[in-house]
Structure 1
Amino acid sequence: MTRSLRTCLFGLIFSTASLLPAANPLPRSTPEAQGVSSSALLAFIEAADKQVDTMHSFMLVRHGHVVAEGWWKPEAADKLHVMHSLSKSFTSTAVGLAVAEGKLSIDDPVLKFFPDDAPAEPSAFLKAMRVRDLLTMSTGHEKNANFVPSEPWVKTFLNQPVPFKPGTHFLYNSPATHMLSAIVGKVTGQTLADYLKPRLFEPLGIEKFAWGSSPQGNTEGGWGLEVTTEDIAKFGQLYLQKGQWNGKQLVPAAWIEQATSKQVSNGSDPEKDWDQGYGFQFWRCRHDAYRGDGAHGQFCVVLPEQDAVIAITANTRDMQAELNIVWDKLLPAFQKESLPDDAASQAKLKEKLANLSVPENHVPVTIKLPGRK
């Protein structure tokens, strides 16, 4: 779908500051000054370039400083990139802010917000569904609601059968995240995107972004956000700092603790990053990390033990392989203390990062988004 068509159909939001340089950039540093080996970073980039089909960008933040960043041409530092389901973690943040402002509780029943869209005789399980169940992907559904442009999305969701008791059955559910967006819209009188602008985007210096909306005017929520790689890194750094930014508490620390902790089980394979538990629109990872992620390799990985954030965009079919390279190559690169300066390795790393490009024979992987033609 072209951007012009999507704008027409879905009310795409695009900030007016799109020609401005990045605001409030993160500070930069050499890797060694922050206890990261340049040679190990080079090994990661070389492995990712060869083994991931196809990387688009990478940024590593350690101790609050960007120590490595690169874009595979034609991607670029100022280019917006679609987040797919990484959008969900931003939506979760909006819910947390609305909760902190007393506009809702995560224990509110979902039907409370949409009395006019509910079925004539809602089932007991639908009545029992809470905001918490939307956040944890445990709504009780057996399959996702099918959003189409011609039907109201909230009504479609509420008319989807709920065969399981909410809170007992994990099902990855993008329409459920859209319901969170619709709830934020109900209780604030603003779209989720507009609600987040002064509370999250502007304080972080995210001055350009795009986010589509439903035919009814609600921000998509579960998908569709477009930001830059550094914006992903800033978002991760905010969470690493327990919601503090430039001396201000933007997001309550208690919410961040809840959102990034295991709230529900979603598997038991110790070798899979998708089996480590799910929070409030955040995934738990191996190595005591957590992440927001989106289809085809969009990652915001937060590593509290290493005081690090990893931002990646890509277009790949194998997201686990992408994370495996992170664990195999990047984890050993972190040291507790600063390292001796390594000018030779830094020069090699800089040259490699400056000359990355998407392979000419790459066939882009696409995804059918809910409610889009």
Structure 2
Amino acid sequence: MNGYQFNFSTPEQQGVKSEAILEFLEAVLQCRTQNMDQDFHSVIIARHGAVIAEGWWKPYAKEMQHMLFSLSKSFTSTAVGLAVSEGLLTVDDLVTDYFKDECPAPTGYLAQMRIKHLLSMSTGHIVDTMGFLQEREDGNWVKAFLNVPVEKEPGTHFLYNTGATYMLSVIVQRVTGLKLINYLQPRLFEPLGIINPTWEECPMGYNTGGFGLSIRTEDIAKFGQLYLNQGILNGKQILPKEWIAEATCSHISNGSDSNSDWCQGYGYQFWRCRHNIYRGDGAFGQYCIVMPDYDMVVAITSGLKDMQIPLNLLWDHLLPGICEDKLPESAAYQELMDKLNSLKVLLPEGDGTSEITEEIAGKCFTLDENEDHMESISFTFEKDTIHLHITACGKKQTLNAGIGTWAAGYLESFDKKVPVRLTGTWQSSTTLLIQCRLVETPFAKQFRFTFNKEGLIVETKGNVGFEEPGWNRILGK
């Protein structure tokens, strides 16, 4: 596929101090924990249209797609902007005009809701509608959204509402006859050179809109560059500059904390930030950050508990190192390249073997009922690898964990093969710790196996989640 490609440059050629990027990376490293809940997976920094720094924390890699969560919303907004430019709809259209079969006689504030209110998270709802959509027994998310009470006048109240973005996806499909992803394919993805994007669907077959898109980090950066370039790539107007101005300005207040980048105003599925910066972002640390005053784009994927931290680090360390003119070559540049080429997540601490491996090798442990649906597990050991033989949901599979390194594999889950990387270490003579990273997502999980006379204790914990992860305990015999 032909499409937009970045040029590459040294930071100094584009007026950025390598020392500033190094300081940012060092600050990132200081945030890491053994709980895996403040892990960066990738970063790309581009200035004046050229990539000046890019890196992936092993085992994450350049070619991998990454789940975007709510960063998907900014792409849905873009689809709406393209549909507006083609004369298929306007942001002032009433939402219910597109759902006459589902809602033939709207009343109250629902009847006043317009597309611009979906875009700006100002629908008038007082709770995020997404839960109602996902709980709908017949799978009709559209009816679920239309049945949620609208208790405030649309346009007067900000409430982050993923269900609103879903409705934008439905509207785009209804006016174009194409699923959101298919509508964007020739208009956005192909011109940007975005390869093999995937997008989750609702039970009715509409793309979920507010989440579910997966692309590479490079693709996130290209998307940001399109917005920074006022919709122009390779000399062609891909997206109207009028839409970019409209989508990225503040349409509604979302708080008064001057130090929070969640309280600087909200656009059409974009967040305003301090320093005249704006971003699209997704849960657990997926970012497309556009800095018009600095002619810079930053793309980040991660598995983060606190999403304000990366923004603070960028403002504190990167911004002071940006200059108007080119800078002389710096010895720090080679140090920066070495740092970027050696990035890696923390490996768990411990020993490579235990005195009990021969005793437990091949022994099958039957597990109590658990949320991971594991029914039984056994272990075999080689010098550099731990083999986990698991039966889950009636299916047998073997996962390999590297010792002191990461082993690649696939987790078979509900007829899907999910790419994973695993590592293992002995924390004591009887306790084996396995880390499993779902490398195309923000998620990772720890499995702590403690062997005793009664059998096996399995403790599991995720890194991040919409609820605070905790250790779950499973007994095995």
Fold-level similarity (TM above 0.5): yes
Deviations 1:69-95 (A, max 9, x none): 000111111100011100000000000
The corresponding residue for 2:100 is: 115
The corresponding residue for 2:44 is: 59
Q: CA deviation at 1:39?
A: 1.4
Is the Cα–Cα contact under 8 Å of residues 126 and 162 in structure 1 kept in the other structure? yes
**2:61 paired residue among 72, 76, 79:** 76
**1:356 paired residue among 333, 339, 343:** 343
Deviations 1:253-310 (A, max 9, x none): 0000000001110011110000000000000000010000111111111111100001
Mapping for residues 187-202 of structure 1, pairs under 5 Å? 187-202=175-190
Distance 1:106 1:182 in 2: 15
Amino acid in the other structure paired with 2:78: T
Mapping for residues 18-29 of structure 1, pairs under 5 Å? 24-29=4-9
Structure 2: stretches of 5+ with no match in the other structure: 33-37, 349-443, 445-461, 468-477
Deviations 1:7-31 (A, max 9, x none): xxxxxxxxxx8xxxx9643110011
Mapping for residues 1-373 of structure 1, pairs under 5 Å? 24-51=4-31, 53-118=38-103, 122-145=106-129, 146-148=132-134, 150=137, 151-342=139-330, 344-361=331-348, 363-367=462-466
Amino acid in the other structure paired with 1:159: N
The corresponding residue for 2:356 is: none
CA RMSD of aligned residues (A): 1.5
The corresponding residue for 1:6 is: none
Structure 1 pair 59–196 and aligned structure 2 pair: CA distance change class (3 A) = same
Distance 2:347 2:87 in 1: 52
Structure 2 SS opposite 1:147? helix
Distance 1:121 1:242 in 2: 40
Structure 1 SS opposite 2:304? coil
Amino acid in the other structure paired with 1:94: A
Structure 2 SS opposite 1:309? strand
Distance 1:297 1:277 in 2: 19
Is the Cα–Cα contact under 8 Å of residues 84 and 225 in structure 1 kept in the other structure? yes
Distance 1:201 1:55 in 2: 25
Amino acid in the other structure paired with 1:337: D
Distance 2:346 2:3 in 1: 31
Distance 1:24 1:284 in 2: 26
Is the Cα–Cα contact under 8 Å of residues 303 and 309 in structure 1 kept in the other structure? yes
Structure 1: stretches of 5+ with no match in the other structure: 1-16, 369-373
Q: CA deviation at 1:360?
A: 2.9
Distance 2:171 2:3 in 1: 30
Distance 1:194 1:157 in 2: 24
Is the Cα–Cα contact under 8 Å of residues 316 and 365 in structure 1 kept in the other structure? yes
Amino acid in the other structure paired with 1:147: L
Q: CA deviation at 1:321?
A: 1.4
Is the Cα–Cα contact under 8 Å of residues 4 and 222 in structure 2 kept in the other structure? no
Structure 2 SS opposite 1:315? strand
Amino acid in the other structure paired with 1:109: L
The corresponding residue for 1:11 is: none
Structure 2 SS opposite 1:265? coil
Distance 2:317 2:214 in 1: 28
Distance 1:364 1:123 in 2: 44
Distance 1:123 1:77 in 2: 50
Amino acid in the other structure paired with 2:338: E
More RCO (CA 8 Å, sep 6+): 1
Distance 1:304 1:61 in 2: 12
Corresponding pairs, count? 346
Distance 1:74 1:25 in 2: 25
Instruction: Name the structure with the higher helix share.
Output: 1
Is the Cα–Cα contact under 8 Å of residues 136 and 278 in structure 1 kept in the other structure? yes
Q: CA deviation at 1:46?
A: 1.1
Q: CA deviation at 1:121?
A: 5.2
Distance 2:200 2:128 in 1: 20
Larger radius of gyration: 2
Structure 1 pair 106–24 and aligned structure 2 pair: CA distance change class (3 A) = closer
Is the Cα–Cα contact under 8 Å of residues 57 and 343 in structure 2 kept in the other structure? yes
Structure 2 SS opposite 1:132? helix
Is the Cα–Cα contact under 8 Å of residues 57 and 314 in structure 1 kept in the other structure? yes
Structure 1 SS opposite 2:194? coil
Distance 2:56 2:324 in 1: 28
Distance 2:204 2:165 in 1: 15
Instruction: Name the structure with the higher strand share.
Output: 2
Is the Cα–Cα contact under 8 Å of residues 70 and 356 in structure 1 kept in the other structure? yes
Distance 1:122 1:164 in 2: 15
Structure 1 SS opposite 2:133? coil
Q: TM-score, normalised by structure 1?
A: 0.90
